[in-house]
Copies of this chain bind each other. A is one copy, B any other.
Amino acid sequence: MLFHVRMDVDIPRDLDRTEAEKLLADEKAKAQELQRVGTWRHLWRIVGHYANISVFDVETPAQLHHILTSLPLFPFMKITVTPLCQQPSSIGAEEG
């Protein structure tokens, strides 16, 4: 099932630089791993923002919660979750 997720990132200025870089690298690795297995189905940057719009394909809402709260940047993100389903006019079999 599909969920639309917007994540706005706000890393505090006083976060240790090394820690921040490690967090960013870990976040990237995690995001790519989840994309490769097909869970993090879409990932776009919002122009002019340190934010992304994503679509996740998960088995359950609980799995989505586990994934989002396990992201290395979770403590620094404001997250909005919107459940999606098949639009009657959609011709994409995989769209919901």
Contacts and interface: CB of A to CB of B under 8 A. Distances in A.
Nearest to A42: B95
Interface in A76-96: 79-92, 95-96
Interface in A1-55: 1-5, 12-13, 27-28, 31-32, 35-36, 42-50, 52-53, 55
Contact of A27 (B3, B86, B89): B89
A7 to B, nearest CB: 9
Contacts of A45: 65, 84-88, 90, 96
Interface residues of A, number: 49
Nearest to A96: B44
A45 B92 CA distance: 12
A92 B42 CA distance: 8
Contact of A35 (B3, B35, B92): B92
